[in-house]
């Protein structure tokens, strides 16, 4: 896969498609069904904009809140606080407003087999979203199914239409999930770890197909992953998430070559390298474990594991985003001499 090249002026001329402002998604935790224990703060104060046609990656280790963020944007989790606007619509309201809101989004899940009803054929899996959203014309339904499967290189199309999910390989299952995600011709695809459960031999091929679809249809893509090694080939911007908060935002090349937050630096140091001599090289790993989202630490949530922490500051005050370079910000007190980013929420 080749590195995506995007003209900076072209990026600034795009329209904002998705706007997330001060988003919090908390889950109430109860004991014995009625004793309130507290809230799991899975997403806690996240703000960003995603432009039309842009590929944006959110990276972080398991449990950091990135999948909860994706599901909240899709309207599958309730919003505790904050606002989400997508294509002129807000993620609030009853069944009909939310149905219209979701119609412009496609969802590619991590587990392709679990994402499809096992008792439906490929044809029925792809028909279902169109029928739900009022597309009844058989010619239009067949046209969209044929075009989607052809774009995903599942040809001859007739060979797959009457197969059930268990009759397909993992890569073929994920192609059907991607075809279903684009069947309503959305403007945004949310891809949550779309290749993590696939064999290494087909991961690059699936990412290539997804990238080709994104470029040919001018789709915005929110790419959720824990694997930094795939991000450089797919996304234009990258956000690093830790314990419910975004700690760094940058263009992909800026972040991969100049990761500024101590947590980002730890992630970059952990990227595997095929050079055999690296087996003899010591890599410093942050001590301890990520904090509990039921009772996160005060101040910067990374400070208990950070070798740069400053007592009396990092453990007491939440750092704002500081400007590292144009388009590159980090929420870390190491950069308190830089200009803080003004929040618009």
DSSP secondary structure string for all residues of 26-70 = EEEEEETTTEEEEEEEEEEEEEEEEETT-EEEEE--TTSSHHHHH
pLDDT at 2: 46
pLDDT at 159: 96
Q: What angle do CA 166, 170, 175 make, to 5 degrees?
A: 100
Cβ atoms of 22 and 83 within 8 Å: the answer is yes
The neighbouring-strand residues paired with 239 are 58, 249
pLDDT at 9: 39
Cβ atoms of 86 and 105 within 8 Å: the answer is yes
**Integer CA distances (angstroms), 57 to 29, 103, 196, 205, 238, in order:** 30, 22, 14, 18, 5
> Which residues in the chain show pLDDT less than 50?
2-12, 345
pLDDT at 5: 41
pLDDT at 4: 47
Domains (ranges, CATH) in the chain? 8-104+186-335 (3.40.50.300)
pLDDT at 279: 66
pLDDT at 273: 67
- Give residue 345's Cα distance to chain centre: 21
pTM to 2 decimal places: 0.90
pLDDT at 284: 74
pLDDT at 11: 46
Name the nearest CA neighbour of 71 among 84, 61, 60, 59. 84
């Amino acid at each position: 896969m080749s590195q995506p090249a995007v003209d900076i002026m072209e990026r600034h001329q795009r329209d904002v498609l998705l706007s997330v402002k001060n988003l919090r998604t908390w889950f109430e935790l109860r004991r014995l069904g009625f004793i309130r224990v507290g809230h799991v703060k899975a997403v806690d104060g996240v703000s960003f904009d995603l432009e039309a046609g842009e590929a944006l990656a959110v990276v972080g280790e398991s449990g950091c809140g990135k999948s909860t963020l994706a599901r909240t944007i899709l309207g599958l989790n309730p919003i505790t606080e904050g606002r989400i606007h997508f294509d002129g619509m807000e993620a609030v309201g009853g069944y009909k407003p939310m149905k219209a809101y979701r119609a412009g989004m496609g969802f590619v899940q991590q587990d392709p087999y679990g994402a499809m009803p096992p008792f439906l054929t490929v044809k029925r899996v792809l028909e279902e979203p169109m029928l739900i959203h009022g597309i009844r014309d058989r010619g239009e339904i067949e046209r969209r199914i044929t075009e989607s499967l052809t774009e995903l290189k599942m040809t001859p199309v007739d060979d797959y239409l009457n197969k059930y999910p268990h009759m397909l390989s993992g890569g073929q299952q994920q192609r059907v999930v991607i075809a279903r995600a684009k069947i309503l011709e959305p403007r945004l695809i949310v891809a949550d770890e779309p290749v993590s459960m696939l064999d290494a031999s087909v991961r690059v091929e699936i990412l290539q197909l997804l990238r080709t679809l994104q470029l040919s249809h001018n789709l915005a893509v929110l790419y959720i992953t824990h694997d930094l090694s795939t991000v450089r080939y797919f996304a234009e911007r990258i956000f690093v998430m830790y314990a419910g908060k975004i700690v760094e935002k940058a263009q992909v090349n800026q972040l991969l070559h100049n990761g500024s937050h101590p947590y980002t630096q730890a992630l970059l140091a952990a990227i595997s390298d095929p050079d055999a001599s690296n087996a003899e090289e010591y890599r410093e790993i942050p001590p301890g474990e990520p904090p509990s989202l039921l009772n996160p630490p005060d101040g910067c949530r990374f400070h208990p594991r950070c070798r740069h922490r400053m007592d009396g500051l990092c453990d007491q005050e939440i750092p704002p985003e500081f400007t590292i370079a144009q388009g590159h910000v980090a929420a870390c007190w190491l950069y308190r001499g830089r200009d803080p980013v003004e929040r618009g929420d």
